[in-house]
Structure 1
Amino acid sequence: MAEEILKSLTLWLPGVSIMIALTVASAFFSGSETAVFSLTRDDLQGFRNGKPGEKQIVQLLIDPSRLLTAILFWNLVINLSYFAVSVVVSRRLLINGYDSVGWLLSIFGVVSIILFGEVLPKSLSVVIPGAISRLVVWPLSISVRMLDRVLPILAVITRGLTRGFWPKLQEETIIDAEDLEKAVDLSSQSSEMIANERIILHHILDLSEIAVEEIMRPRGTYLTVNEEAIWQDFGHSTPPGGFAAIVESGTDQVQGVFWMHGTIYSESKGLKSFRETVVYVPWCADAARTLSLIRAKLCHVAVVVDEYGQTIGLLTQQDLLDTILSTSPSRARRILKREAMLKIGDHTFHLDGLTTLRYLASHLGIDFDSDQEPSVTVAGLLHQNLRRFPEVGDEMLWQGWKLRVIDVTAPGRVRVLLEPGDNSFLQNTEGSE
């Protein structure tokens, strides 16, 4: 066998050299795919303020479909080329009477591309994705840009083939939120889902109906600092909510944040290492789109602005997750660290002005339609009804319940006593219970 291999050296050596080069190329794209897509959100957060190569990785992952298409395309071309060369070399050996060497090369070729072109690079990339990503980023970027010129042509060919072979092919109908909610409600009749799971599913679906104004942190409830802030300005501790908003000097316009939630301050890196960009959304944007935008832009905070472009509050990713995962999400509890609605007697409650009407209606068993309610919070409801800042003793009726202002600590910061509006309403409530 060894003698045959040496005699046939001129027949197989050029082809095997090409196969080795193609194996290295296959390993490059296989490892690149695993490494780049194994990076965690925290890794990418760090890369945003890192070296040029790290920033380029983040740029590539802004459009993951484009990146994955390029990797799979080039890997496919390389693998097809590899097996084409393998077939040509093996056939040449068989024609010249070196059957054993030809079969050996065929088996070696399959094992080699699987082991060295796929398994080993992917295994290594899973272990050290950051280092591999930094190593491959620039060649990978070039390959993606090269394919950008080809993709439009491939798209035209794909559409032509689709129309030719499947002229009646139609896109599947998108299931809307109402259909999903009905499915969740129907599933409650079986034992497949426990109560908390159903609640969380409803919260996820409700995100498309909740405006960010309902769950944001209003201006004045979070720490603001300037760009030149130092660790001592925070009192050597993580600020409430895990972040501090960076504002322009003399204004409330938020330019970025120092995001410190779940991290430990490092003197060597300084406060600048925690700086993050923010995204901007209008007050009427729904929570679902805002969460998608935050995740797509690899940040943690959305700045909520009014129709005049002024900052009216902030919404963090943690706030959105609390809205989804908490069985009874409450903005007042999240910001003020106390219950928004405190029961003090039969059908009598103390409310904080930050309590949302959606939260209040849910606890009182009242149907709530945000389109029919011009106000979002209890304080906003009082402003809308009184046409001025509430004062102690002010009263109003809402959905059969009487709201009476019992404390005012600042303009718009109120505590309210909630009780049934009249005895007949109390009797109806008791009867329904």
Structure 2
Amino acid sequence: MAEMSVAASRRLKLRQLADEGDGRAERVLEVQEQPGHYFTVVQIGVNTVAILGGIVGEGAFTPHFSAALGLLLAPEQAQSLGFALSFAAITALFIVLADLVPKRLSMNEPERVALILIAPMLALCTLLRPLSWAFSRISEALIRLMGLPAARDNSITHADILALAEAGNLAGVVADAEQQIIENVFELDTRTVESVMTTRERIVFFGLDDEDALVRNRIAEEPHSTYLVCEGEIDQVVGYVDATDLFQRVLREEALRLRGSEGLIKKVLIVPDRITLSEVLLQFREKHEDFAVVVNEYSLVVGVITLNDVMSTVMGSLVASHDEEQIVRREDGSFLADGITPIPDVQRALEVEAWPHAGQYDTLAGFLMVMLRRIPRRTDQVVWEGWRFEVVDVDSHRVDQVMITRLPAPP
């Protein structure tokens, strides 16, 4: 019980108890850091009890079994069978009382058991320290000889945190939405800005020489909080304007002319298209901005990204309405997805871990292009991991809608 409870105790729970003033939890944490002497004393005790139990049990049980069997069998046969029955009884008792029951108790409530046993076990460690020191040195020498680490690795990775969140979700402690947020946060280091940006063809921008009426009509038809300002074409970026600044001019009955307007056009943040969402968040914080233009290696504009785009990725379905979801599950179990749906979202919906040619694309449309080796056309299909991806709508060479259907299992 002492060994299993210390090994199974969660460090986070013990640290919480220690911070609340429980000195026993602090001692358990110290043992977890340096468990050599502790486990050595446990093994000394377990093996001593096992050997003594066998000796004492054989002397205690064998005569009774032999005497009972002597009523039916010859003395030699009764003695041999009595010894065998004694051995079986002692083995069964040890399996149940010295193995299964203690381990079950220790695994069910490891922290509680460890706190109860830590004081008497540390007393035994002090008493048997010379003997445990000798055994520990021999064990560590053999471990190093095999090229294995002698100390426990207590580092916590993001995979450990995700596993804890999943376990909490299965136990009902962590809600589905909360688990999804935790997973989304760790995806910020792997997802690029291309997976969440507004693509080039959807950008609403103003030209420096646009007339007042054109600016007003564009704002009315496509309302946004921020508008890109360009010199003629979209790749000649000048800056951006806030919708609030434009509305203030409207309220003051001033003309909405961009060229020569002092302080109206702001300097825009330019970021490369291959950086991750966590990196663009860092740049937003350093530059005190919440809007950036995404360019490729040829300095061509491929999209724009805002702080709200990144936070919507983290919050997921908590902030996105059903109409805004890029991948929607239908009643028959199939999915209807936008071509620009990020692959992590598709992976999560379909529960498909491995994707072919990973790293060559970020969206569902990119996946289809890589698999087909050409621009997808309507009715094109790709089959992968038991799912059929069928292009149902294409708009000017852009994959607009994709139907994802589960294929029947092969016989």
Check if 1:245 corresponds to 2:231.
no
- Matching residue's letter, 2:377: E
Compared with structure 1, are the counterparts of its residues 341 and 194 closer, same or farther at alpha carbon in structure 2 (3 Å cutoff)? closer
Instruction: State the 1:179 CA deviation.
Output: 5.1
Equivalents in 2 of 1:359, 1:281: separation in Å? Answer: 23
Pair member with larger Rg: 2
Paired positions, count: 249
Q: In 1, are the aligned partners of 2:377 and 2:391 still within 8 Å (CA)? A: yes
Check if 1:217 corresponds to 2:203.
no
Equivalents in 1 of 2:391, 2:287: separation in Å? Answer: 42
Q: In 2, are the aligned partners of 1:223 and 1:240 still within 8 Å (CA)? A: no
Check if 1:320 corresponds to 2:320.
no
Q: In 2, are the aligned partners of 1:242 and 1:262 still within 8 Å (CA)? A: no
C-alpha RMSD over aligned residues: 3.4
**Greater shift in the superposed pair: 258-267 or 306-315:** 258-267
Equivalents in 1 of 2:193, 2:212: separation in Å? Answer: 30
Query: Which of 363, 377, 380 in structure 2 is aligned with 1:394?
Result: 380
Query: Which of 240, 253, 258 in structure 2 is aligned with 1:257?
Result: 240
Query: Which of 179, 188, 205 in structure 1 is aligned with 2:186?
Result: 205
Secondary structure, counterpart of 2:235 in structure 1? coil
Check if 1:305 corresponds to 2:290.
no
Partner of 1:294: 284
Equivalents in 1 of 2:369, 2:314: separation in Å? Answer: 29
Equivalents in 2 of 1:211, 1:186: separation in Å? Answer: 28
- Matching residue's letter, 1:311: V
1:381-433 deviations in Å (ceiling 9; x for gaps): 22222232222221111232111222222211332222123x216x9xxxxxx
Q: In 2, are the aligned partners of 1:323 and 1:329 still within 8 Å (CA)? A: no
Compared with structure 1, are the counterparts of its residues 317 and 413 closer, same or farther at alpha carbon in structure 2 (3 Å cutoff)? same
Equivalents in 1 of 2:164, 2:330: separation in Å? Answer: 38
1:297-335 deviations in Å (ceiling 9; x for gaps): 1122122121222211111111111112233787xx79x
Q: In 1, are the aligned partners of 2:205 and 2:234 still within 8 Å (CA)? A: no
Q: In 2, are the aligned partners of 1:358 and 1:368 still within 8 Å (CA)? A: no
Compared with structure 1, are the counterparts of its residues 356 and 342 closer, same or farther at alpha carbon in structure 2 (3 Å cutoff)? same
Q: In 1, are the aligned partners of 2:245 and 2:264 still within 8 Å (CA)? A: no
Secondary structure, counterpart of 2:203 in structure 1? coil
Partner of 1:118: none
Unaligned runs of 5+ in 1: 1-172, 428-433
Partner of 1:277: 267
Compared with structure 1, are the counterparts of its residues 399 and 191 closer, same or farther at alpha carbon in structure 2 (3 Å cutoff)? closer
Compared with structure 1, are the counterparts of its residues 349 and 327 closer, same or farther at alpha carbon in structure 2 (3 Å cutoff)? closer
Equivalents in 2 of 1:322, 1:396: separation in Å? Answer: 29
Partner of 2:391: 405
- Matching residue's letter, 1:424: A
Equivalents in 1 of 2:398, 2:326: separation in Å? Answer: 15
Counterparts of 1:60-99 in structure 2, within 5 Å, are: none
Secondary structure, counterpart of 1:347 in structure 2? coil
Compared with structure 1, are the counterparts of its residues 177 and 343 closer, same or farther at alpha carbon in structure 2 (3 Å cutoff)? closer
Secondary structure, counterpart of 1:265 in structure 2? helix
Secondary structure, counterpart of 1:255 in structure 2? strand
Q: In 2, are the aligned partners of 1:394 and 1:404 still within 8 Å (CA)? A: yes
Equivalents in 2 of 1:221, 1:395: separation in Å? Answer: 26
Partner of 1:40: none
Instruction: State the 1:231 CA deviation.
Output: 5.5
Equivalents in 1 of 2:290, 2:265: separation in Å? Answer: 11
Q: TM-score, normalised by structure 2?
A: 0.52
1:62-82 deviations in Å (ceiling 9; x for gaps): xxxxxxxxxxxxxxxxxxxxx
1:48-73 deviations in Å (ceiling 9; x for gaps): xxxxxxxxxxxxxxxxxxxxxxxxxx
- Matching residue's letter, 1:248: E
1:132-165 deviations in Å (ceiling 9; x for gaps): xxxxxxxxxxxxxxxxxxxxxxxxxxxxxxxxxx
Equivalents in 1 of 2:373, 2:309: separation in Å? Answer: 30
Instruction: State the 1:369 CA deviation.
Output: 6.5
Identity %: 22
- Matching residue's letter, 1:246: V
Compared with structure 1, are the counterparts of its residues 304 and 368 closer, same or farther at alpha carbon in structure 2 (3 Å cutoff)? farther
